[in-house]
Amino acid sequence: MSAYLKYLYAAASVGLLLGFRVVSKRRKIHGNRPPIVNIPAAEIFNHPREAYEKALREHGPVIAVPRKGLLEFIVDENLCQTVLTSDQSFSFEEAMAKILNLRPYVSFFWSFFREIDDLVQNGINPRLSTIMEQICPVFVRTAGHAVEQKTVDDMFEHAHTTIAEGMIVLIFGESFANERSIQVITDVATDIAGLTGMYSNSSFLGRRFPALWGAIMWVKVSCTTILAFFRFIGPQVWRHLRARNWIAGEEKPTSTLEYLAFKHANKNDGSIGFTSFMWIMSMLLGLIFASVHQTASVVVWVVFELAKRPEYLKALREEAYNHLDPVTNDLDPTNIGEAIQKATYLDSFIREVMRTKGDTLTTCRLTTSNIHLAGYTIPKGHLVFPLATRLHLNATHHPDPSVFRPERWQGENAKPAVMTSASYISFGLGKWACPGRILAVSEIKMIVWSLIVKATPRLKGGEYRIVDPLNITSVPPQGELILEPFSFA
C-alpha cells in the first residue's frame, strides 16, 4: 500500500470513528430530547402568549421551538426557578453573549457582568436617596414641559430623554448634562438595546437572517453611536479622571464615575491609566444600556395603564400631596428618595402593571452542558426561557389573574414592585435578578408623580397599541397621551 493510501485509510477510519461518536451522542441526546414544536412564525410574533401556552399544554413542561434560526427551549412555571437559579447548569453570561451575537467574547462577559453588578449594588444603590434628590429637578422640568404642551405624541421619547438626563447626572454629575450628551446617551441606549434583537422582529432581515442582521447592526452601532460615545463623552471623562488622584479612604464618591475611579485607580498613587479609562468607559456603556431603555419602556406602560384607569388617580395624588413645594406645587426634591420609597399605593400599581402587561420570553439562560430537566435532556449551548405568562397570569399564584387589581399587593401580603419570586419574574430571579430595580421603580414613580400632580393623563381614543407582543418590555406600546391641566387648589 502506498503511503498516500495509508494516510487516506487512516483519515477515513478516524472520520468514521468520529462520525459514529457524534451519531451515537446525538442519539443519546435525541432519545429523551424535548418535543420539537414548530410554531408558525406569524403565531410567535403576533400571538406569542397563546402560541407558546398552547404548545406547552399539548406537549409537556419542556418544549423545543425553532425561532430565527435557533432551537430555543421553553419551560413551564414549575421549572422556572430551576432554570433561573441553577447557575452551574444555566448560565446568564453565556445567554447574554449569545443574544448579543458575541459568543466568541464570552469570557469578557463573565467579568463584565460581575463588575456592572457590583457597580449598581455598591456604586448606586447605597446612594439612592441622594441620587433621587439630585435627579428630581430633571424630572420636574421635563414633566412641566410636557404639561405645557398638553399632549405627548411620543411618551417613550419623553421618558427616554428624562431618564437619560437623570442617568447623566447620576453617573457623571450635573456639569455633564447638556443637550449633546443627552443625545449621545439616548442614542447609545437605543442602539445597544437594539443589538439584543428587540427590533429584529419588525425587520425582514432580522426575521429571516438573524446572524447577518446581528453582524450588520454591530458594525453600524460601533461606527456610529459607540464611536460618538467615545469621541464626545470620552475626553470629558478622561479629563475628569486625570484631574486628580483617586486614593480610596475616608472620601465618599459623589457620582458613579467617582466610584469607578476609586475602584480602578492605581493602588500606589491613585492615578488612572489608559487601560482603566477604557474599562471604565465600557462599564458606563453597559450601565447605560441596562438602565435607560427598559425603564423608559416600563414608564410608558405604567402611564398608559393609569390613563386608562382614572379611578386610581385620587389615591395616587394623595400619596404625592405631602411632597410638593407649597408655592409651585411641583415635587420638592428634599427627602424625595424617602418619600418615594414610602409610596406604597403607587408601588402596588406599578407591580400590577408589570405582572399583567404580558411578558413572554423575557429572561433566559444558556445550558452549560447537556442538562436533564423533567425527564428530558436539553443539549449544551441552547437558550432556555421560562414562559413568563405562565407565572404572571397563573390562577394558583394570582387569583383572578387577568383582573387588574393593585390592591392584591397591599395589606397582609404586601409585596413591593421590586420583590422577585418564582411567580413574578419581571426583574428576573436569583443571583442575576436586576440589581437596578430599586432605581428603576424609583424613577418610574418620580415620572408618574411629576405628571399627575400637574395633569390628568388621558389616552387619545382611550386605547394604546401593542407594537411587538413578543417584546413587551423592550418595545413600548404606542398611543397619544393627552395631559389635561390639574391643580390641587
Distance between CA 271 and CA 266 in Å, rounded?
5
> Is there binding between residue 87 and ligand HEM (CB under 6 A)?
no
Q: Which of residues 273-292 bind ligand HEM (CB under 6 A)?
A: 290-291
| 383-386 and 455-459 strand pairing | unpaired
Q: Which of residues 15-74 bind ligand HEM (CB under 6 A)?
A: none
Distance of CA 339 to the CA centre of its chain: 25
Yes or no: say if 61 and 79 are a contact pair by the CB < 8 Å rule: yes
Among 109-117, 147-155, 456-464, 481-489, the segment contacting ligand HEM (CB under 6 A) = 109-117
Show Cβ contacts of residue 36 under 8 Å, excluding neighbours closer than 6 positions: 63, 64, 65, 66, 71
> Is there binding between residue 362 and ligand HEM (CB under 6 A)?
yes
> Is there binding between residue 439 and ligand HEM (CB under 6 A)?
yes
Q: In which element (H, E) is residue 1 found?
A: none
C-alpha cell at 349: 400599581
Query: Sign of dihedral through CA atoms 348, 419, 46, 35?
Result: negative
Query: Sign of dihedral through CA atoms 462, 465, 470, 473?
Result: negative
C-alpha cell at 418: 421590586
> Is there binding between residue 84 and ligand HEM (CB under 6 A)?
yes
Instruction: Using the minimum distance from each CB to ligand HEM, give the nearer residue, 161 or 362.
Output: 362
> Is there binding between residue 116 and ligand HEM (CB under 6 A)?
yes
Instruction: Using the minimum distance from each CB to ligand HEM, give the nearer residue, 55 or 429.
Output: 429
Smallest gap from Cβ 325 to ligand HEM, in A, equals 26
Among 19-27, 60-68, 151-159, 426-434, the segment contacting ligand HEM (CB under 6 A) = 426-434
177-165-330 Cα angle (round to 5):
105
> Is there binding between residue 429 and ligand HEM (CB under 6 A)?
yes
Is 434 labelled as part of a ligand binding site? yes
> Is there binding between residue 433 and ligand HEM (CB under 6 A)?
yes
> Is there binding between residue 428 and ligand HEM (CB under 6 A)?
yes
- How would you label 263-272 residue by residue, b for 16+ Cβ within 10 Å and e otherwise? bbbeeeeeeb
Among 257-265, 396-404, 431-439, 448-456, the segment contacting ligand HEM (CB under 6 A) = 431-439
Instruction: Using the minimum distance from each CB to ligand HEM, give the nearer residue, 73 or 332.
Output: 73
Identify any residues that bridge with 152 across adjacent strands, giving them in sequence order. 481
Interface residue with ligand HEM among 51, 195, 241, 434 (CB under 6 A) is 434
Q: Which of 482, 156, 141 is nearest to 300 (CA)?
A: 156
User: Which amino acids are annotated as binding site for heme, given as ranges?
Assistant: 434
Residues contributing to the site for ligand HEM (CB under 6 A)? 84, 92, 113, 116-117, 120, 124, 290-291, 294-295, 298, 362-363, 426-430, 432-437, 439-440, 473
